Amino acid sequence: MTRVLVVDDSAFMRHAIRRVLEAQPDLEVVGVASDGIEALEQVRRLRPDVVTLDVEMPRMDGLQTLAILMRDTPLPVVMLSTLTEAGAPATIRALELGAIDFVTKPSPPAVSLASVEPHLLETVRQAARARVRRASPAAPALDTPRIRLAPTAATTRRADRLVAIGCSTGGPKALIDVIPHLPGNLPAGVLVVQHMPAGFTRSLAERLDRASALTVKEAQAGDVPVAGLVLIAPGGWHMTLGADGRVLLNDNPPVHGVRPSVDVLFDSLPALYGRKCVGVVLTGMGSDGADGAEALHKAGAPILVEDASTTVVYGMPRAVAERGVADLQVPLPKIAAAITDLVLNGKPVGRAGRVAV
């Protein structure tokens, strides 16, 4: 039984969320709170397994509450607010602080939760299985602009080498621990698929861009992967590379229930890049990326997965490792250095799946 604390300043929404959750035999609402101060007291007293947390509340808002929770009593938190769509930067900040995922409430709020009920239930259940660690005081200062190298002819043509990264649950925080630590002179383009709906990936890209020596942007059709540029697949669109090496976007049906899909991107890369591509699979639920990683591996590309010890959810990296195509399994703090080494030195010699840390 998963024990849930519901935090929302609206009495109507507290009742509606409670009703949806308690209709499930595996979920129990152990308490409700109307603001962050009350929520912190309830967490200390009730020790819930999962917290659903509103963003905009009196006395102490959701982001302030989340920061204190992750510092003092870390546990799985699902952000649940109308602001998670209208205020996408607040959502990205919440994920950066350690929230597992988010669900957008219907707007106006005084309507049925029926439209988001399946997503809410799935997200709460996933959160209950997630690993949560205490917030690190050494997290990068994402509002501090970084020094970038001036573009040259070599950085304005299609990159000869490529890094392709896929992630899902826990991915935004993982990307914040990876992208800003890649060197500004990395001689490769970088493509990223993060499972995320439309409206949020631009804010994620902007936040990463402010922290990174690399330029980070939401991908557009026709973009070219160049050295020093990170392109993030826009939420709600599959991203591939065409035969000419330019970005293609499509709204074909979801793969593994998601769009964008890591497999869709990875499957488009072997013919273009082969062993000059580095495939990376970070934290995430499910198995998206395993088929594509296998295709890249067969083409000679080194495959790097996040080690179980640091993932929020080990599903996607596990699926790749179980295929026997993970050349390296590396904890999150060492992912950026491992990517850089693979770009510069190529695939390691040795048995697949052996850890080099």
Annotation marks residue 238 as catalytic? no
Give average pLDDT by consecutive 10-residue segment, the chain, 357 residues.
96 93 97 97 97 94 96 95 73 93 76 83 95 64 49 65 97 96 96 93 95 97 96 97 97 96 98 96 97 98 97 97 96 97 80 40
Closest CA to 188 of 302, 58, 84: 302
CB-side neighbour CA atoms (13 Å) of 136: 12
Q: Write down the catalytic residue from 34, 81, 168, 287.
A: 168
Q: Write down the catalytic residue from 223, 288, 291, 307.
A: 288
Annotation marks residue 10 as catalytic? no
Given this model, what pLDDT does residue 296 score?
Answer: 98
Annotation marks residue 291 as catalytic? no
Closest CA to 51 of 115, 4, 109: 4
Calculate the dihedral angle through the C-alpha atoms of 33, 91, 84, 52, rounding to the nearest 10 degrees. -30
Given this model, what pLDDT does residue 154 score?
Answer: 44
Closest CA to 54 of 2, 16, 25: 16
Q: Give tens-digit pLDDT for 171-211.
A: 999 999 999 999 999 999 999 999 998 889 999 999 999 99
